[in-house]
Amino acid sequence: MSVEIERKFLVTGEGWRQADAQRYCQGYLSRDPARTVRVRQVGTKAWLTIKGRSVGATRAEFEYEIPLADAEQLLKLCDGPLVEKWRHRVEAGGGLCWEVDEFLGDNAGLVVAEIELPDEAQAFERPAWLGAEVTEDPRYFNSNLAAHPFRHW
Amino acid sequence: MSVEIERKFLVTGEGWRQADAQRYCQGYLSRDPARTVRVRQVGTKAWLTIKGRSVGATRAEFEYEIPLADAEQLLKLCDGPLVEKWRHRVEAGGGLCWEVDEFLGDNAGLVVAEIELPDEAQAFERPAWLGAEVTEDPRYFNSNLAAHPFRHW
């Protein structure tokens, strides 16, 4: 188990677009916020990730790498449509990194930026393209974007 | 992925009691019959198992061994009470094996026997203690026994 401390923001500018990006495809075997179970495929690798309920920006997380062939079958078992996105990695200084998620499909038009922090009090620089914080807004949980995609908001 | 072909029966006698037994503790991160996610601890080992919907006696199954310390945390995240049982392994001849589950706690009094088959048409001997078949009765799904234990039937 690890504990994930993550803050999430809307994105207002384009300054992140030059960063390297990878295509993500993910779905949920459980979207229950107390115990989400996610299947994620990135290129030729795949993971199964279980997360507990968020308490502020902190959440218990368990992650296991799984065979790609299993992930392809498990994605078909998932509840609701899959979430697809480009993830751009932007250096945040001080060893931190912004993950800017540009959603596709039914979530096209939504761009959010996440930063993982060593502890909740950790300070970080805010780039010019950073918008409002949505860390605790459940509409932006990836598990919610599967069931209630951005285009229907 | 593997495909599990399993038939399940009630147990009426005691002839299975002399067999070796191991204590199982398991809970569910998802009890949705289309995508159950089970955490199982047996002694010092633990697994995460995902199963799709049953079609007759056949069901897609994905199983991953996980660290015991993770399992102990994941069992606390589970939905509903845990299912605890002794599993007795009884030779069934022809390389097959009966798994006789003697439930504990809120499911005490329930004993069921399962046999895993290489294909649905495979013949097998029926021991004297074997009762009625309940393969397709959802009340006997382990995932259901967590939410609706035998003592409340």
The total domain count for chain A is 1
**Confidence label for A96 from pLDDT (cuts 50, 70 and 90):** very high
Parent domain of A64: 3-152
What is the pTM for the complete model shown?
A: 0.84
CATH value at residue B95 = 2.40.320.10
pLDDT tens digits for range A102-115: 999 999 999 999 99
Q: Does A34 contact B77 at a Cβ distance shorter than 8 Å?
A: yes
**Confidence label for A76 from pLDDT (cuts 50, 70 and 90):** very high
Of A30, A50, A69, the CB nearest to B74: A50
Burial tier of B1 (Cβ tally within 10 Å: 0-12, 13-18, 19+):
middle
**Confidence label for B134 from pLDDT (cuts 50, 70 and 90):** very high
Scan residues 81-140 of A and list those with Cβ closer than 8 Å to B. none
Residues 6+ apart with CB under 8 A from A23: A42, A43, A84, A85, A86
Taking chain B, what is the end-to-end CA distance rounded to the nearest angstrom? 34
Q: Does B32 touch chain A (CB under 8 A)?
A: yes
**What is the mean pLDDT of the segment spanning A48-76?**
93
Contact, A39 vs A29, CB < 8 A?
Answer: yes
Q: How far apart are CA A11 and CA A137, in angstroms?
A: 15
Q: Measured between alpha carbons, how far is residue B114 from residues A28, A57, B85, B99, B153 in Å?
A: 30, 44, 14, 5, 21
Judge if ipTM > 0.85.
no
Closest to B117 in 3D by CA, of B141, B93, B85 = B93
Query: Catalytic residue positions of A?
Result: 28
- In chain B, % helix, strand, coil (3-state, to 5) comes to 15, 50, 35
Q: How far apart are CA B118 and CA B5, in angstroms?
A: 7
